[in-house]
């Protein structure tokens, strides 16, 4: 898996409650993923947030995929 998201996703304790953000800005990975999950296209997100790039959005998806890969679920 491409690890370039590691240079774009940042975590700072005093910013947005320590949630993963994009390039030190105040928009979180969760924000971007929520917009996409709600049905916005990548282009719509980029239009609404012109300071984001397509690479930023791909980094959010890669970050989420990496988190999911590491998640363990107990089956009862």
pLDDT tens figures, 35-44: 999 999 999 9
**10-64: per-residue pLDDT in tens?**
999 998 999 999 999 999 999 999 999 999 999 999 999 999 999 999 999 999 9
pLDDT at 27: 96
Q: What pLDDT, on the 0 to 100 scale, is given for residue 68?
A: 85
| CATH code, 5-70 | 1.10.10.10
Residue 48 burial (CB count, 10 A)? 10
Task: Name every residue whose Cβ is closer than 8 Å to that of residue 36 and which is 6 or more positions away in sequence.
Answer: 42, 45, 57, 61
Question: Under a CB-based contact definition with an 8 Å cutoff, are residues 20 and 61 in contact?
Answer: no
Residue 67 has a pLDDT of 85
């Amino acid at each position: 898996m491409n690890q370039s998201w590691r240079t774009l996703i940042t975590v700072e304790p005093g910013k947005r409650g320590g949630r993963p953000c994009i390039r030190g800005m105040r928009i979180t990975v969760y924000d971007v993923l929520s917009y996409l999950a709600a049905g916005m296209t990548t282009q719509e997100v980029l239009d609404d947030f012109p300071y984001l790039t397509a690479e930023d959005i791909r980094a959010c998806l890669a970050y989420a995929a990496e988190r999911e890969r590491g998640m363990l679920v107990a089956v009862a």
